[in-house]
Structure 1
Amino acid sequence: MTTPEERRKNAQAGSFGTAAEAYERGRPPYPPEAVTWLVPEHAKIVVDLGAGTGKLTRALRAPGREVVAVEPSAGMRERFSQVLPDVPVLEGTGESIPLPDRSADALVCAQAWHWVDPERAVPEVGRVLRPGGWLGLVWNLRDVSVPWVAELDRILRDYAAAPTEDRQVERVGAPFGPVERQDFRWRYPMTADDAMDMVASRSYVITLEPAIREELLGRVRALLDTERPSGMPYVTECYRAELRQP
């Protein structure tokens, strides 16, 4: 029997397909320097796990490199194929990756590792990677050291807790080596409408009751009308670990 917390998490994890358009419009890309740090230079085949609408996939593409996307949501896969029709996108999860053993040089998971069961996902990623391959985990986090962003964060927390507080990075473990971390600070140009889409595409907002969601979005719009931001400051939090030789 699942707990209320597990049911809430499962509902949030399955909610993204209904907001694929807002996700594509409002979610930021990833800074090139973060991708360079996450993916080894020698990688020829890279898996984008939990690819969503392809925000990270676009940054992973490089001459001589093949990118394969894996995404559980049918709605997200449909939007992904519209945006990146030449990149294969497969149905799958961190616990069940539809790729052969030792078929990839790197696997990167953006904004999604907190959804997986590490006890099942870690060995599954280890199965897909070649020895010496890298697992990369990355989150774009709003920079709450900026006062108006801190106020936005407070409004959101008045209604629902973000699921990324436990990113489960410490549960990577064997067969991977030590986890390294690097943060990258940057600013993404964003209009107030873009920021509204960013908020509306959060799983914990999507799954609110309609009236409560509208109340939340109204408060966010009032904040943005007051602050009139021209961009969103982010901290891109990156982790990587190398698959040990057998």
Structure 2
Amino acid sequence: MTFTYSLTDGERQRHSSSFGTAAGAYAEHRPDYAPAAVRWALAGAPGPRVLDLGAGTGKLTGTLLGLGDAPGDPLGGALDITAVEPDAAMLAELRRGLPSVRALQGSAETIPLPDGSVDAVVSGNAMHWFDMAVAGPEIARVLAPGGVLAGLWNVFDDGTDWVAGLARVTGPAAIGPRDVPAAWRIETAELHLPRTGADSPFHAPEQAEFPHGHRRTAESLVATLGTKAGVLVMPEQERADLLDRARAHLAGHPATAEGEFTLPLLTSVLRVRRRP
């Protein structure tokens, strides 16, 4: 199974449209995002209007909702959040779980918002699915001058032995090169952001990463892996075999064999700022 960077246009469409078949599992088993990473992503935005683009079931949206209200929070107040998601099943889960959020059907390539209507655009584990040749100008259109665009990815911290072993036994469909820190740092910036430069609406990119974790059991971590696009598009028997290998690996490691444990993650962030 190839990983996201190597997909043809047809494969990319098949992978990106696979999540709706597992929307409930995605909502239940995918992690949220490190609040410190989200604060960094939004730092310097000219106002509180935030668009969560490719919002899925609302994992990043939920983290956004928790920011800005605490005394002394650097964001300085509650955020005005809009979520946009193309998949009807994923959007239904978002609306069910976060009924207070304005949630619209749309895509990164066709954003259903007026020009200059948001101060920040953020995207959680989704920007690699965008057709950035089309989405880049569309994002620039809805961003206010000086606004920020940030992509956030939860990546597996493979500096932990059992996580590195899990990546080996499952292969790139479940924990591929995009899902570990070294490849994220090397490859992601140029691949997943709009074009930058003197003739672009965006300044040069910045990168940062923040420790995060996800409380799991062996079975719920297997369920998390089952929501990966590369796993969702597999033939049924191949998918079952992969998840069985993951289950056996976790059962054989003392840190993960019984009860709850923390899956070590990093929330990795790419950020660019729109020119005034």
Per the normalisation by structure 1, the TM-score is 0.92
* Aligned equivalent of 1:224, options 241, 250, 255: 250
Q: Distance in 2 between matches of 1:144 and 1:180?
A: 23
Deviations 1:166-217 (CA, angstroms, capped at 9, x unpaired): 6424543121101111111232221122201210100110000001101111
5+ residue gaps, structure 1, are none
Deviations 1:14-35 (CA, angstroms, capped at 9, x unpaired): 0001111211122111111001
* Aligned equivalent of 1:37, options 37, 40, 56: 40
* Aligned equivalent of 1:188, options 201, 214, 229: 214
**What percent of counterpart residues are identical?**
37
SS of 2:128's equivalent?
A: helix
Conserved 8 A contact 1:114-1:163: no
Q: How far off is 1:38 after superposition?
A: 0.5
Change in Cα spacing, 1:226 to 1:170, as seen in structure 2 (3 Å) is same
* Aligned equivalent of 1:215, options 222, 241, 255: 241
Q: How far off is 1:133 after superposition?
A: 0.4
Q: Match for 2:267: what amino acid? A: T
SS of 1:108's equivalent?
A: strand
Residue number in structure 2 paired with 1:240? 271
Conserved 8 A contact 2:167-2:174: no
SS of 2:208's equivalent?
A: strand
Alignment of 1:4-23 (within 5 A): 5-23=8-26
Q: Which has the larger displacement, 42-51 or 97-106?
A: 42-51
Per the normalisation by structure 2, the TM-score is 0.82
* Aligned equivalent of 1:141, options 152, 155, 161: 155
Deviations 1:29-81 (CA, angstroms, capped at 9, x unpaired): 11110011001365321000111111100111244321100111111001111
How many matched pairs? 243
SS of 2:171's equivalent?
A: helix
RMSD, aligned α-carbons: 2.0
Conserved 8 A contact 2:167-2:175: no
SS of 1:96's equivalent?
A: coil
Change in Cα spacing, 1:124 to 1:232, as seen in structure 2 (3 Å) is same
Q: Does 1:78 align with 2:92?
A: yes
Residue number in structure 1 paired with 2:83? 69
Q: Distance in 2 between matches of 1:97 and 1:154?
A: 39
Q: Distance in 2 between matches of 1:35 and 1:4?
A: 29
Change in Cα spacing, 1:214 to 1:43, as seen in structure 2 (3 Å) is same
Q: Distance in 2 between matches of 1:155 and 1:47?
A: 37
Q: How far off is 1:161 after superposition?
A: 7.7
Q: Distance in 2 between matches of 1:176 and 1:16?
A: 30
Residue number in structure 1 paired with 2:195? 172
Deviations 1:105-139 (CA, angstroms, capped at 9, x unpaired): 00001101111111111111000000010001110
Q: Distance in 1 between matches of 2:135 and 2:129?
A: 10
Q: Match for 1:172: what amino acid? A: R
Alignment of 1:17-166 (within 5 A): 17-40=20-43, 42-61=46-65, 62=68, 63-157=77-171, 162=176, 164=178
